[in-house]
Structure 1
Amino acid sequence: MSELAAVPVTALKGVGAALAEKLARVGLETLQDVLFHLPLRYQDRTRVVPIGALRPGQDAVIEGVVVGADVVMGRRRSLLVRLQDGSGTLSLRFYHFSNAQKEALKRGTQLRCFGEARPGASGLEIYHPEYRALNSEPAPVEQTLTPIYPTTEGLTQQRLRQLTQQTLARLGPHSLPDWLPEELSRDYHLGALDEAIRYLHRPPPDADLDELAEGRHWAQHRLAFEELLTHQLSLQRLRESVRAQQAPQLPAARTLPQRYLNNLGFQPTGAQQRVGAEIAY
């Protein structure tokens, strides 16, 4: 058993009984489970995109100043916030909002948002973006691609990223069992297990998103190779176990064969008698 396989998720900061139960729904009970709970895909939040450069269907980080926030009535009541950055104007639309949220998004507030730009009644809009207010100091963007994990009801992406970050801080060269011989890893250019895990949870900004999406990255190959090798070795051990089992020796039948033949109602052919003798002895 690995070092991290023996540590329950409750050892992480902020994980109590209720959260541990939600994590268990997606198979996360130990820190090793957290490390092998790999992202489905990634988002690029490492750069701010000018509003004027946005295209429909694009996920992007944008920054701008609120120039208006109004409750509008249509098929559904919504809060429409107009954001401007000097290159263009964008609308943020919220169908679920509170009065406190509306007051916080007042004119002059500097915001950083993330979401998918979609065509709307007033141009490009982002529905229910992730956002935060900025102060006068420049705020750093993300330093790695943002992972999107398999999850369940009540378990947010932000919480999974926080827990993964805590677990990665505990990950060292010997925290997980590396079953591949060094020469095999070298011959197939597979790299170390801990490096592969760390890369897949936090790819650098210049990572090839298409390569990751198609499973062609070396870190993905490293994990797939080990999984396939482990599967083959398990099958080999099972086959050897089956071969080692000997059939029980049965005592020679004396009267039963003749009684069976007498009840057939016909005389077996010579070939049938020969095969019967081979089976019996």
Structure 2
Amino acid sequence: MPHCVASPCVRLDSPITALRGIGPTLAARLTPLGISRVEDLLFHLPSRYQDRRQLHAIGQLRPGQEAAVLGEILHIRPQSGRRPQWCVALGDDRGGVLRLRFFHWVGAMRSQWRPGRRLWCFGEVRGGAFGLEMVHPEWQLADGPDFCLPDRLTPFYPSVAGITQTHWRAWTDAALAQLDELVDPLAELLPAGWPSLKDSLYRLHRSEEGVPGDADPARQRLALDELTAHHLAMLRERRAQRHFSAPVLTAPGSYWERLRQALPFAPTAAQLRVIDEIRQDLGLSAPMRRLVQGDVGSGKTLVAVAALLQAVEAGYQVALMAPTEILARQLHHRLEDWLQPLDLRAGLLLGGISAKERRDLIGALASGELAVVCGTQALFQEGVEYARLGLVIIDEQHRFGVEQRRRLMAKGSMPHLLILTATPIPRTLAMTLYADLDLSIIDALPPGRTPVTTVVMPDTRRSELIARMRSVLAEGRQIYWVCPLIENSELLELQAAEDSYAELCHALPDIRIGLVHGRLPAEIKQQRMQDFVTGTTQILVATTVIEVGVDVPGASLMVIEHAERLGLSQLHQLRGRVGRGAEQSTCILLYRPPLSPRARQRLAVIRSSSDGFFIARKDLEMRGPGELLGVRQSGERTLRIADPIRDEALLEIVPDLGENLLRTQPEAAAVLIRRWLGGTVAYGDVG
């Protein structure tokens, strides 16, 4: 084992400043990496390795090669010029000569280097004016008693400014020297054949064999630890919720029955099943924490309204939060259609409303006069108070950060929480990473919905496409034209929404065309969306602001430009904006050739399937879980080593491991959570 670099030797639970050379400044730089204690260094793993064990003959080196060489210093010559430098000729036993070039001639080199001394170097070989050379290679004098050739892979660690790889290797040496102290909570619960946590960490930091890949038992052991820690954190939060009391929202259900009688369609069996699960939750004193997944068009909004009506009938208020103003306005419009026949009204709280509207609405919420309110983040701003907030409904939860959810939940006395998402998450993944939530799945679409035909087309056929659009418009139907950017970008070479709008206006001068993008003022954006909903506008050119929730039954054709640039889940969400009426609908994916292999694969998946769960799974495989689950944009917990798709077999055993550990070693469970999640687990009051 490596020797300790601190004196006296530190312990794993010592603060990171106990290591020699780490003062407050360096400690502050390590904090964003999650490193505050010596033990944290053990779980800061190398991102890559170099094999420096094999010596290469200088005469066999090739440009671009990374290689280790051992030779004798032949001469050292300074070179003047715009940038002074020193050139060292290094010769090996086979007569090869390699030039080493340095722009910084540091003290140890000045005092120790001289012709005749032996030198070990590692670096990238380049072609120079006088033959092969290395610029600023790593080096060691090789004729002293302490020199020995590397006997293991050389690790490289993720780093920040001011911290070198030499620092990381010395610090991790110090941490590895204390491995015997490490607590291994899962050791007694795993079957025979699993490597120990200590052996796994040592192999990953100081591998003496090959590079430990994703399937290496050492890496799998740490992935299992990490997934179990996340699952335990969720279970702990779930259990903490049981100690809180939420309002008991029991009601006869008369509002819901009246709405059902008035609906022009019958709810699906899947919707009714999920509604029943929610009704049972709302009737308990423990706060509901339920995640409802449903594919595009599966009817999640109706399920949310059923929950809303039960809360209102029980005498409580409901807040519905949407990720954008457009979607909040549309949700409000739909609620009004459904609530007005029941003599109920819904308020709309947005950042852009007038001061008087805001004052009146906030007053009605504080007094309890208003039972239902829709909005965006404005729902939890300072000054917004609720008389009896009993239920919070969040649409597209992955677009909201933990702190945003916490602030909204704090507006009530532990209200129930219902989360909706149109981003299907594989069940094993949801059960592990969202173990604090009950999961409901609306796994059927309303009857009568015609599947959308998906066509992949190169943008060289735009004139043919516009001719096809004329026939669609002649039949009285509407068209979405979606562009990923607002303005031209020479770097990305994307057709912008404004250019597409101008092009379509020129090609179809007799057609009413609207343009919507995120930089428009809210009132103009809303008016143009409303014009499309009412049919005043026949074509809507838009950026991806129309991705989720916008519902226009008259639209039967969608064109998505540069579809090769978008992710699978986003393409699926966009495609879901058509096919909402009785007419056969089509989604045309325009791409700019040539396609990369990955883009070709994405387009093939979206063309061949309309199954949101299958598409979500493929999206996870291609992009990783961060974007699909929203962890990057919302600040949720991220995985450092594990990959939920690659490590799906581990997900199958994580729930049992977590339950066993909580039951038999609750203190050890806390150690595992602290080790992997640090201070990011204070979400017990969020849900």
Coarse TM-score class (shorter-chain normalised): 0.7 to 0.9
How far apart, CA to CA, are the structure 2 residues paired with 1:241 and 1:142?
Answer: 51
Aligned equivalent of 2:167, options 159, 171, 181: 159
Matching residue of 1:9: 16
CA contact (8 A) 1:23 1:29 kept: yes
Partner deviation per Cα, 1:212-245 (whole Å, 9 max, x = no partner): 2x42211111101121222234334545666786
Distance 1:126 1:40, change over 3 A: same
How far apart, CA to CA, are the structure 2 residues paired with 1:270 and 1:125?
Answer: 80
CA contact (8 A) 2:88 2:100 kept: yes
Distance 1:252 1:47, change over 3 A: closer
1:44 partnered with 2:51: yes
How far apart, CA to CA, are the structure 1 residues paired with 2:42 and 2:51?
Answer: 21
1:122 partnered with 2:126: no
Aligned equivalent of 1:177, options 168, 174, 183: 183
Distance 1:40 1:106, change over 3 A: same
Q: Percent identity?
A: 38
RMSD over aligned Cα atoms:
3.6
How far apart, CA to CA, are the structure 2 residues paired with 1:111 and 1:270?
Answer: 84
CA contact (8 A) 1:69 1:102 kept: no
1:202 partnered with 2:178: no
Matching residue of 2:224: 225
Matching residue of 1:31: 38
Larger displacement relative to structure 2 (35-44 or 128-137): 128-137
Shift in Å, 1:120: 1.9
CA contact (8 A) 1:69 1:82 kept: yes
Matching residue of 1:262: none
**How many aligned positions are there?**
255
How far apart, CA to CA, are the structure 2 residues paired with 1:99 and 1:137?
Answer: 21
Partner deviation per Cα, 1:224-277 (whole Å, 9 max, x = no partner): 112122223433454566678665246989xxx9xxxxxxxxxx89935xx9xx
Distance 1:251 1:66, change over 3 A: closer
Matching residue of 2:158: 150
Partner SS state of residue 44, structure 2: coil
How far apart, CA to CA, are the structure 1 residues paired with 2:174 and 2:22?
Answer: 11
How far apart, CA to CA, are the structure 2 residues paired with 1:14 and 1:72?
Answer: 35
Shift in Å, 1:196: 0.7
Shift in Å, 1:103: 7.0
Distance 1:120 1:245, change over 3 A: same
CA contact (8 A) 2:12 2:175 kept: no
Structure 2, unmatched stretches of 5+, are 1-9, 263-305, 315-687
How far apart, CA to CA, are the structure 1 residues paired with 2:49 and 2:205?
Answer: 9
Shift in Å, 1:149: 1.1
How far apart, CA to CA, are the structure 2 residues paired with 1:269 and 1:146?
Answer: 68
Partner SS state of residue 7, structure 1: coil
Correspondence 1:207-218 to 2 at 5 A:
207-209=209-211, 212=212, 214-218=213-217
Matching residue of 1:134: 142
Which TM-score applies when normalising by structure 1? 0.75
Shift in Å, 1:61: 2.0
Partner SS state of residue 222, structure 1: helix
How far apart, CA to CA, are the structure 1 residues paired with 2:148 and 2:39?
Answer: 30
Higher RCO, Cα 8 Å, sep 6+: 1
Shift in Å, 1:65: 1.3
CA contact (8 A) 2:47 2:158 kept: yes
Partner SS state of residue 184, structure 1: coil
